[in-house]
Amino acid sequence: MHMARKTAPTTTAEETTDSGLPRDRYSDRELSWLAFNERVLDLASDAERIPLLERAKFLAIFSSNLDEFFMVRVAGLKRRIAAGVAVPTVTGRMPRDLHESILDRTHELVAEQARVFNDDVRPALAAEGIHILTWSGLDEDEKQRMSTLFAERVFPVLTPLAVDPSHPFPYIRGLSINLAVMLRNPMTGVEQFARVKVPSVLPRLVPLGRGRFLPLEEVISRHLDQLFTGMHVLQHTTFRVTRNEDLEVEEDDAENLLFALEKELLRRKVGRPPVRLEVEDDIQADMLDLLMRELDITEHEVFKLPAPLDLTGLFALGDVDRDDLSYPNFLPITHPHLAEVETARPADMFAAIRRRDVLVHHPYDSFATSVQRFIEQAAADPQVLAIKQTLYRTSGDSPIIDALVEAAEAGKQVLAVVEIKARFDEQANIAWARVLERAGVHVVYGMVGLKTHCKLSLVIRDEGDGLRRYAHVGTGNYNPKTARQYEDLGLLTSNPIITDDVARLFNHLSGMTAEKRYRRLLVAPDGIRSGIIEAIESEIAHHAAGRPARIRIKVNSIVDERVIDALYRASAAGVPVDLWVRGICAIKAGVPGLSENIRVRSILGRFLEHSRIFWFENAGTPVVAIGSADLMHRNLDRRVETLVGLSNRAHVAEIDDLFNLAFDPSTVSWQLTGDTWAQVSRDAEGHLLTDMQEELIRRTRDRRK
């Protein structure tokens, strides 16, 4: 990509007030994230378009998303409040005021989630023969079987903890489900609190057969007399605590990073302050007061919800064998440029990539017969001398890891840049780093102060007449499992300019160079923000000169103020700006005098939209790039990210078609006006609009035919 590569400092709100743009031009990122999770909840309530078991899964995703939001974002906000760091956000809000607004909005959202589950999804499941029961809903045979299960499988793993003068209130592990029990000693009349942790090693929804399930805490609560023999159970309820779970690792040098991270993971298990308390809505006042006092949590941070708590347990319904209640099965196909024409079998990857660059679009194009096969073939090919690979997140049984191990054991030079600070995947990444090291792979743990988030593979092959390099530059992780669920793009190429850029970037990552200039890549933290802003300014100049000008961007999130201000300037100059944003969007769309020419769309569905695409019309010769970077401070300032330019006209046309489909008025989407989102799923006559992902599946099936 031919864009500027100068490093520019992040602009603060105070610095931009002289730009002529209004002070209130940004939406708050935390409230915008909650608006994104509300869109997930919209899917759970959409009975017309979304199959029933998928709606239950979206309820679970909503809960899982909210857990991480509180563990990281809300916890960080509370930490700033506790430390007395009273610095306003870019929207001008003080941390305490923002925290209160987040809690207010979250109370509304979880109440709506509970309504959708109890009034819509749960009854609909029951009508289809899938029952999430309470103890009273069991027949006598089921009650007897559950009593046997408790005695044989549950009771042995429970550890009831009493609170008395010699036993302080126990540490409550974050996100664990617990029973709070109030007991009375019949001999002394003394009342006593006890806590029972619901074991996570057992299924949360206990299958009873015939599509019937019982939450595990129901089994335990009905047998408390066996846990507390000789005591009277006065009351019991379930509760759940969310704690600060974000990492705080001091990086003195990369050699000590692995050790420091392992220590931090141990420290994470204790001493993390609570940020949310979920309780059953019929909890008695004295029990709630005790929990709030012992956990040092405010009433506003308490969420009273109908049982069962923690709807992430609904993920278990994914194992229910009811194809009629799920999305139709979809089998990705081998990209036609990577298949033998006569047999449709996977082709020789290196011969195919030598013929042309290949743009793969997952999950529609198979990951297994493209990116995974590329690495596996490189590992097995005796002509391959070296493989270099970034790993941010990968699956527990990854064939990518297996291929790198195989290559190293065969004597090839293998470099793996393993990002062990990938949030909540740290433990797994440490384990894989150790496996790779033992196999002889050169493992590098990224760069001090930066996360390595770029998605790169490089293969060096001896082809008789010299060495040739092959590369993959992608938008998604090298994870075969998520590649079937995440929408991502990747470029497979032997273009010598791109592969030289990738080789120099790997040398930079392994510590051999201080490289900052590339010909076909933009690389953060030194070049992506400045390159994108220069491209935006070029579009403004093209429009002023009467040449074709347009900006189209697809990202997971857009927060960076300097990029947003540049887009506002483009809109004011008359440049059409289309933003396709899945999650956080701090830009305001369609505001008179600010962003009349900015359209923002969000698309959610069976696949998680994950690719990042940048399109600049460039007077009729579009500059188009894909890569790993979102438009957030962390991506542009604190991560190693890459964007690669696409030069093949067919690839540019494919990206053009994607944007046209996403912004087509006949496509289901959420549309942003100001800072308010609205779902548009029907046309003026009331007919359902086209689901973009289903349309791409249909095109994929037609291509297979």
Please state, in angstroms and rounded to a whole number, the distance separating the CA atoms of residues 114 and 308: 10
Q: How many CA atoms lie within 13 A of 690 on its CB side?
A: 15
Q: Are strands 205-209 and 177-184 parallel, antiparallel or unpaired?
A: unpaired
- Beta-strand ranges (E) seen in 70-164 are 131-132, 161-163
Residues in Cβ contact with 469 at an 8 Å cutoff, skipping those fewer than 6 apart: 458, 459, 460, 461, 494, 496, 499, 500, 502, 503
Which SS3 state, helix, strand or coil, does residue 561 take? helix
Write the DSSP string, 498-547: HHHHHHHHHHHHTTS------SSEEEETTSHHHHHHHHHHHHHHHHHTTS
Burial of 705 (0-12, 13-18, 19+ CB in 10 A): exposed
Q: Which residues of 557-596 are buried (b: 16+ CB within 10 A; e: fewer)?
A: bbbbbbbbbbbbbbbbbebbbbbbbbbbbbbbbbbeebbe
Tokens of 89: 């956000």
Q: Which residue has the tokens 């209004």?
A: 22
CA 465 to chain centre: 44
Taking Cα atoms as reference points, which of 474, 461, 463 lies closest to residue 370? 474
Question: Which helix (H) or strand (E) segment is 651 a member of?
Answer: helix 649-662
Q: What 3-state class would DSSP assign to 302? A: strand
Cβ atoms within 10 Å, residue 263 = 12
Nearest to 457 by CA among 368, 553, 541, 390: 390
Whether the Cβ atoms of residue 589 and residue 673 lie closer than 8 Å to each other: yes
Smallest CA-to-CA distance from 458 within 500, 429, 516, 419 is with 500
Which pair of tokens denotes residue 159?
Answer: 């550890």
488 three-state secondary structure: strand
CA 250 to CA 458: how far, in whole Å? 31
- Decide if 603 contacts 580 (C-beta within 8 A): yes
Strand pairing category for 467-474 and 577-581: unpaired
Strands 413-418 and 384-391: parallel
Residues 421 and 452: their CA atoms lie apart, in Å, by 9
Q: Widest CA span of the chain, in angstroms?
A: 92
Any idea what the Cα angle at residue 673 is, between residues 668 and 676, rounded to 5°?
A: 90
Catalytic residue among 99, 453, 543, 651: 453
Tell me how far CA of residue 701 lies from CA of 329, 489, 689, in angstroms: 12, 19, 20
Closest among 607, 610, 622 to 657, alpha carbons compared: 622
Peptide bond just before 199 cis, omega within 30 deg: no
Phi and psi, residue 568, nearest 5°: -60, -40
508 is catalytic: no
Taking the mean position of all CA atoms in its chain, how far away is CA 208?
A: 33
Full 3-state SS string of 183-211: EECCCCCCEEEEEEECCCCCCCEEEEECC
* Residues with active-site annotation: 453
